[in-house]
Amino acid sequence: MTLIELLVVISIMLLLAVVAIPAMRPALSTRQTREAARSINVYLGAARNRAVETGRPVGVEIVRDPNLTLAGTTLYQVEIPPPYGGDTEDTRVTVTLLSFSGGIATVQATRASGIFSGGLIRLGDQVQFNQQGWVYTITGANVDANNYVRSSPPAGTDPDGFPLTLQASVPGSFVMPTLTAVPFQISRRPTRSSTSPLRLPSSVVVDLEFSGTEATNFTASTADVNSVTILFAPSGNIYRVVSDEVTGRVIDPIYLLVGKRERLPLAYGEAFQAEDGVSNLNDLTNLWVTVNSRSGLIVSAEMAEAAVGDIQAARLFARQKQAMGGR
């Protein structure tokens, strides 16, 4: 073979390689999406098993990409710590009403006795006094840089964490007497466990615009910026969901759309980035990972063909798999 012929052969091979690379990209992207969906399925299952083993709620926190809030890119296993009522049995608080307006009662809790450690409770944790009555949310306190309430000394005044400001939604006929030196129980929010996080490939995301329950998506407004947390109860079913749009117990299945970063808009309500303008909801190579709220069953399913924006039709196969109890 002459030098010229050799150069011609090499040129043809290089040309074929260049042509083949774009054809390989969809297959690689599809494989990454399927592997990510499988990993998410396993990670959720591990949290469910952990809840059953420990007898305490355990779940998964889906963290949004700071530069693309519609994208869930990292998953952490989280646990709810045991309720807290002070370091000593004699820890007590005195509760007084500050205001009552528009169905919202605002109260103040000051420490009456006992020891209260710092770094254990945060703003947003919930409190019940004397094991009865309304459940209040901590809205104000002297906190550290991580929003944990600071500790208080065992005697004297409370220069650190206390007093606490708390609020509860109560009926219009609400009348609250001062509660003097009563015990309390604080239900703490989930904290990340020592389990290694699950980081999705850079091209794959949980599309939070189309993920959610039957009634509500996890991203339903431009204001949704916080993580999405799915908690399993010790019985294996869903304990509660915590997100900007869905907070509390749910009875519908939870749908997570595992799709591609390039098919996300830069912000909620904007055009999709992909050149073909197709969203993750209409990409048939994407997958759903769903959780049955009543049983905790976790299944993966293909995307169903649907009209643009028809999320219920796109979830058809996922609903069918949940009904059949498939994997």
Q: Where are the domains of the chain?
A: 28-80+192-324, 92-187
Question: For all residues of the chain together, what is the average pLDDT?
Answer: 86
* pLDDT over threshold 90, residue 55: yes
- Give the mean model confidence (pLDDT) for residues 151-160: 59
HSE-CB of 46 using CA atoms within 13 angstroms: 16
Instruction: Please report which helix (H) or strand (E) contains residue 26, including its range.
Output: helix 3-54
For residue 311, give the H/E element and its range.
helix 311-314
To the question of pTM greater than 0.85 for the whole model, the response is no
The yes-or-no verdict on residue 26 having pLDDT over 70 is: no
**Residue 128 bridge partners (DSSP):** 135, 185
Tell me what percent of the residues of the chain surpass a pLDDT of 90. Answer: 55
Higher pLDDT, 103 or 247: 103
Report the relative pairing of strands 198-199 and 68-79 from DSSP bridges.
antiparallel
Burial of 315 (0-12, 13-18, 19+ CB in 10 A): buried
pLDDT band at residue 270, thresholds of 50, 70 and 90? confident
The CATH number assigned to the domain with range 28-80+192-324 reads 3.55.40.10
Q: Decide: 161 and 168 in contact? Cβ < 8 Å.
A: no
